[in-house]
Amino acid sequence: MKDTFKDKAQNWDSGDIRVNGAKTIADAIEKEIELNRNMDILDFGVGTGLLGFSIAPKVRQMYGVDTSTKMIEKLEEKNSPDLSIKVYHQDIIQKPLRQQFDGLISSMTLHHVQDLDAFFRTIYKNIKQDGFIAIADLESEDGSFHSDNTGVYHFGFKDEDLREMVQNSGFKDIKIQNINTIHKEHKNFGVFLLTAKKE
């Protein structure tokens, strides 16, 4: 697996946009999903755990999956007996997880996934009956959000395209809403939260 984040991991948690953005996403997820201490949750594209560690105290166990060795190393530095994320280092489309979870969360990772149909079909199998997905990412943009688009396969997403893919994979009760705006010097970028259930 190519680690496109190996040079970014060291300073990943120092950016206010990322840290505050993850907190905003966590708050939005908690408004939409009734989390409880009986849940096992998977954070897809867990990175250094900015989102996962925010949700972890509300659930039984937080799991994370990522393809970046360096990002996982930074996460492990923050792990503690009281607040931990159990991490899988793998590409779950190429090598699916066998475990099932009560829900999947994700922050700004979807645009790095090349085959979205395969992704949603894969995670559908990883979600328990009546479980949920809560995925945050960029609204459709012109490709200028990243200064380097290496490893970026989608310049944000249009509601209708995303809704169709999620629906085709079997999820129900799909909701897509704007939850944040990222302000950069040259432009503003919208962030959405997609929630859906496996019924």
Summarize pLDDT for 51-103 with one digit per residue, the tens.
Answer: 999 999 999 999 999 999 999 999 999 999 888 999 999 999 999 999 999 99
Token representation of residue 103: 């829900």
Does some domain include residue 96?
yes
Does some domain include residue 73?
yes
Amino acid type, 15: G
Specify burial of residue 120 (Cβ count, 10 A radius: 0-12, 13-18, 19+): buried
Number of domain units in the chain:
1
pLDDT higher than threshold 60 for residue 9: no
C-alpha closest to that of 43 among 117, 159, 123, 156: 123
Token representation of residue 188: 């503003």
DSSP 3-state assignment of 114? coil
Does some domain include residue 181?
yes
pLDDT in tens, 126-180: 999 999 999 999 999 999 999 889 999 999 999 999 999 999 999 999 999 999 9
pLDDT in tens, 62-75: 999 999 999 999 99
pLDDT score of 82: 84
Does some domain include residue 4?
no
Does some domain include residue 1?
no
How do beta strands 85-89 and 101-107 pair? unpaired
Amino acid type, 165: M
pLDDT in tens, 24-42: 999 999 999 999 999 999 9
Does some domain include residue 47?
yes
pLDDT score of 184: 87
Residue 24 belongs to what domain range? 9-197
Which CATH number belongs to the domain containing residue 186 in this structure?
3.40.50.150
- Residue 21: beta bridge partners? none
What is the Cα–Cα distance from 34 to 88, expressed in whole angstroms? 25
Does some domain include residue 130?
yes
Please name the residue that has the structure tokens 């190393």. 73
Does some domain include residue 3?
no
